[in-house]
Amino acid sequence: MIYKVQVEFSKEFLEIEKNQINVGIKSKPIKGEANKEIIKKLAKHFRVSTTHV
């Protein structure tokens, strides 16, 4: 399945509506840290390995 992802910084949340995911992260977009946090959150929510995200 393909989702559109909207990211907000300095917030902590995860909302999913139809094909849209809104996620808040605390990490800064430096050296891939923000991407890692998003992947971990999505993997945890969908109960899959991070390699499947």
The residues spanned by each domain of the chain are 4-52
For residue 14, the surrounding DSSP H or E stretch is strand 13-17
User: How do the residues of the chain divide into helix, strand and coil, expressed in percent and rounded to 5?
Assistant: 30, 30, 35
Is the separation of the CB atoms in 21 and 38 below 8 Å? no
| pLDDT of amino acid 1 | 82
pTM of the model: 0.85
Query: pLDDT tens across 5-30, in order?
Result: 999 999 999 999 999 999 999 999 99
Q: What are phi and psi of 46, to 5 degrees?
A: -85, 0
